[in-house]
């Protein structure tokens, strides 16, 4: 049976089609999910894609968190359903308290769009198993509210429990995509929940799955092959 991975579309979503394409390239079946529909259509995993849900009014992700579909996503995630939040999806996951912390405006107060160097910190989650810890990858980044913040206790817990999934690689030339692009604390680019089934990150792996499309790299494809292998072997 082919694994079925749902991609939620909110008003203002931009990357739902790209995410569905990435899922298809990886070999799974993408399923379009609408924000007003609580039915997840028996999917095996869910992707909350990038964009500007509800125009980022109030805060990025703050309104989308109350969409009817999120009731099912939250319930499923707490029961072990794999969920990936990309950019705006990461913001929604923090607003829904499926991941700790919050996303604030970039410290330089500008929208940023570039290829970003990341270091894989945790290759043991449902979405990162096809990477290796310490691996350096390049993933497109585009955001205005990408600065990850949390109180010191939360940061200490994330670090102690190995729940920082990705960190901005800072030891290199900024012109080549190195450096912290938004002021995120501890250079955090992505985190996971304790169970490893929920992962959020700011860069966009769905834009790096084919050599002829997007960044021209395939560094983002392992996100989607990782979850496919987990679902097939479950």
Q: What stretches of 10-88 adopt beta strand conformation (E)?
A: 29-34, 45-48, 83-86
Alpha-carbon gap, residue 189 to 9, rounded angstroms: 23
Three-state secondary structure call for residue 192: strand
For residue 13, the 8-state DSSP code is B
- List % helix, strand, coil for the chain (3-state, nearest 5): 30, 25, 45
Q: What stretches of 65-204 adopt beta strand conformation (E)?
A: 83-86, 102-104, 112-120, 136-143, 147-149, 164-168, 188-192, 198-201
Give catalytic status of residue 113 as yes or no.
no
Give catalytic status of residue 159 as yes or no.
no
Alpha-carbon gap, residue 177 to 123, rounded angstroms: 22
Evaluate whether 92 touches 53 at the Cβ level (below 8 Å): yes
Three-state secondary structure call for residue 64: helix
Give catalytic status of residue 35 as yes or no.
no
The dihedral built from the CA positions of residue 47, 53, 56 and 57, taken in this order, carries a sign that is negative
Query: Which of 87, 95, 121, 207 is labelled catalytic?
Result: 87
**In 106-220, where does DSSP find H-type helix?**
152-160
Active-site positions read 87, 204, 206
């Amino acid at each position: 049976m082919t694994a079925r991975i749902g991609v939620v579309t909110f008003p203002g979503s931009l990357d739902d089609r790209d995410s569905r394409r990435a899922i298809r390239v990886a070999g799974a079946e993408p399923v379009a999910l609408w924000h007003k529909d609580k039915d997840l259509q028996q999917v095996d995993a869910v992707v909350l894609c990038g964009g500007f849900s509800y125009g980022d009014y109030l805060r990025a992700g703050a309104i989308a968190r109350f969409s009817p579909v999120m009731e099912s996503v939250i319930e499923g995630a707490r029961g072990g359903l794999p969920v990936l939040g990309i950019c705006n999806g990461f913001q929604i996951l923090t607003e829904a308290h499926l991941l700790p912390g919050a996303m604030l405006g970039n410290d330089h107060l500008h929208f940023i769009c570039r290829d970003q160097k990341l270091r894989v910190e945790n290759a043991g989650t449902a979405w990162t198993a096809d990477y290796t810890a310490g691996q350096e990858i390049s993933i497109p980044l585009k955001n205005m509210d990408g600065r990850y913040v949390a109180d010191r206790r939360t940061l200490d817990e994330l670090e102690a429990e190995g729940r920082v999934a990705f960190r901005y690689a800072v030891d290199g030339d900024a012109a080549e995509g190195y450096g912290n692009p938004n002021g995120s604390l501890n250079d955090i680019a992505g985190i996971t929940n304790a169970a490893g089934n929920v992962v959020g990150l700011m860069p966009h792996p769905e834009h790096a799955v084919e050599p002829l499309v997007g960044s021209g790299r395939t560094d983002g494809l392992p996100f989607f092959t990782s979850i496919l292998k987990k679902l097939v072997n479950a």
